[in-house]
Amino acid sequence: MRAAVFDSGVGGLTVVKSLLENKLFEEIIYFGDTARVPYGVKDKNTIVRYSLEALEFFKNFDVDILIVACNSVSAYALEELRANTTIPVIGVIDSGVKALENKISSKDSNILVIGTNATISSNRYALALNNLAYKNITSIATGLFVPIVEEGIYSGEILNSTMKHYFKNLQTIDAVILGCTHFPLIENEISKYLNDAVTIHSGDAIVDFLKLEYNCINKFEETNIKFFASENPDNLKNVAKIWLKGLL
Orientation angle between helical segments 202-213 and 13-21, nearest 10 degrees: 50
Burial class (CB in 10 A: 0-12, 13-18, 19+), 55: buried
Smallest gap, in angstroms, from Cβ of residue 236 to ligand DGL?
A: 13
- Which member of 39, 125, 209, 227 binds ligand DGL (CB under 6 A)? 39
Q: Is the peptide bond before 38 cis (omega within 30 degrees of 0)?
A: yes
Span of 19-27, 102-110, 115-123, 210-218 interacting with ligand DGL by CB under 6 A: 115-123
210 binds ligand DGL per the rule CB under 6 A: no
188 and 198 in contact (C-beta within 8 Å)?
no
186 binds ligand DGL per the rule CB under 6 A: no
6 and 84 in contact (C-beta within 8 Å)?
no
Closest residue to ligand DGL using C-beta atoms: 40
116 binds ligand DGL per the rule CB under 6 A: yes
- Looking at beta carbons only, is 6 or 167 nearer to ligand DGL? 6
CA distance 98 to 53: 29
Candidate list 77, 180, 216, 240, residue with the active-site label: 180
Question: What x/- string results for residues 132 through 171 when contact with ligand DGL is judged by CB under 6 A?
Answer: --------------x-------------------------
Burial class (CB in 10 A: 0-12, 13-18, 19+), 120: buried
Active site residues per annotation: 70, 180
Positions touching ligand DGL (CB under 6 A) are: 7-9, 11, 37-40, 70-72, 115-116, 119, 146, 180-182
